[in-house]
Amino acid sequence: MGFDLGNILQQYLGGALNPPPERASADFDQATQAAPRETVAQGVTQALRSDQTPPFPEMVGQLFERSGADQRSGMLSQLISGLSPALLSSVAGGVLGRLFDGKPGQVTPELANQLNPRQVQEIAATAERQNPGIVDRMGDFYAEHPTLVKTLGGVALAIVLGKMAEASRR
């Protein structure tokens, strides 16, 4: 019996949001291995924006908490890329301003490990207010880390798979 991405994704068209968690997880594994990365990114972005999942900053904080040091540094680099030095100094208790000494740069794994999920939530909220397109960038970033996306749970995975199904129909 061969793998059929279309049949898997078909199940998620129309917002089927309550599959058993293990099923959504297994379907997500197969779909992310077979689908184009751009399609996965669109699905992840949709889950990050959905009113059926926690707010974007909360989800980013959860993902940060469950990430390794390299993933943390990558996602923080994405989040702060559009923030001014003044904002960096004012958000999350000014920790980023102190870490960068007023000169924003690449977030190293060592710097990322100095932050906690609450601070990252605040950074994500600020980044989203300053640049709503950051949600797309984060969806793209997390498309590269599907194992991490799975930690968001069945509803988020069903949303990702539903968006992927819509994209595959076009």
Domain count for the chain, please give it: 1
pLDDT tens digits, 25-70: 888 888 888 889 999 999 999 999 999 899 999 999 999 999 999 9
> Residue 53 is encoded by which pair of tokens?
């999942």
Domain boundaries, position 115: 5-169
Predicted confidence band of residue 106 (pLDDT cuts 50, 70, 90): confident
Q: Residue 128 pLDDT > 80, yes or no?
A: yes
Compute the half-sphere exposure of residue 116: CA atoms within 13 Å on the CB side of its CA.
3
In angstroms, the Cα distances linking 4 to 13, 30, 60, 69 are 15, 9, 31, 35
pTM of the predicted model as reported, rounded to 2 decimal places: 0.84
How far CA 90 is from CA of 38, 44, 96, 138, in Å, comes to: 34, 29, 8, 22
pLDDT bucket at 155, cuts 50 / 70 / 90: confident
pLDDT surpasses 90 at 95: no
Could you tell me the CA-to-CA distances from 147 to 3, 6, 32 in Å, in that order?
Answer: 20, 21, 10
